[in-house]
Amino acid sequence: AQRVTQPEKLLSVFKGAPVELKCNYSYSGSPELFWYVQYSRQRLQLLLRHISRESIKGFTADLNKGETSFHLKKPFAQEEDSAMYYCALGSNYQLIWGAGTKLIIKP
Amino acid sequence: ETGVTQTPRHLVMGMTNKKSLKCEQHLGHNAMYWYKQSAKKPLELMFVYNFKEQTENNSVPSRFSPECPNSSHLFLHLHTLQPEDSALYLCASSQVGGGRNNEQFFGPGTRLTVL
């Protein structure tokens, strides 16, 4: 079955500390994975996608097919990173969503 | 206006009312989606339209009725809703095709409260 798992509902770290938001997936084909972010009072928006292999706002995510993971990382968290983060898997022109992780950056 | 717009932004309705949510995308996309976002629950895909044809209905109760008159507009007609239907309803659009699952662009949502 196709599934996306984000094991942490809430992650709280101090400003300047490293951040890692976990995402694991289950998919039989070649996966296309995304991270979306929803800041307070803003719409859900794409943060990055594995195909682009880019860094957005200091965040990176590497697809690890062996571990079926697509964890989101940032070396030094900033207060403006506080938001809800969703991992999503592309399948048949739809997205299969994880439950989301709420990231809180403490000053 | 650019991107994906949704109206109304807030809606309060009784269980016997009939109302409609509207979504419009100005991106030239060929697919549109309705999602339900409830507190403490994952994002739930409700309906998918590709090229104005409904391709997905994720066991959504019949009190929700979608309509896609053209590739730019999407409606969600509501009737005899229940209090548990209170949620944020999100519309999204994307350009599908070419074997890629392309980025979905979201509207701001309609905050629905059913009394």
DSSP code of residue B33: E
Q: Does B109 touch chain A (CB under 8 A)?
A: yes
What is the predicted pLDDT for the residue at B52?
65
Contact between A4 and A66 under an 8 Å Cβ cutoff? The reply is no
Q: Which of A92, A95, A98 is opposite residue B104, by nearest beta carbon? A: A95
For residues A74-95, average pLDDT:
93
What is the predicted pLDDT for the residue at B101?
67
Contact (CB<8Å) A95/B50:
no
Residue numbers in B near A40 (CB within 8 A): none
For residue A7, with 0-12 CB atoms within 10 Å meaning exposed, 13-18 middle and 19 or more buried, which class applies? exposed
Inter-chain Cβ pairs, chain A and chain B, closer than 8 A: 42
Of B68, B72, B71, the residue nearest B25 (C-alpha): B72
Contact (CB<8Å) A91/B101:
yes
At residue A102 the predicted structure's pLDDT band, cuts being 50, 70 and 90, is very high
Q: What does the mean pLDDT of chain A come to?
A: 93
Q: Which of A49, A94, A97 is opposite residue B48, by nearest beta carbon? A: A94
Q: Does B30 touch chain A (CB under 8 A)?
A: no
Residue numbers in A near B50 (CB within 8 A): 93
What is the predicted pLDDT for the residue at B94?
92
The residue of chain A nearest to residue B37, with distances taken between CA atoms, is A99
Q: Could you state, in chain order, the average pLDDT of each consecutive group of 10 residues for chain B (115 residues)?
A: 90 92 95 90 88 74 93 95 95 83 89 94
A22-54 pLDDT, tens per residue?
A: 999 999 888 899 999 999 989 999 999 988 878
Residue A73 has phi, psi (to 5 degrees) of -135, 150
What is the predicted pLDDT for the residue at A100?
94
Host H or E run for residue B6: strand B4-7
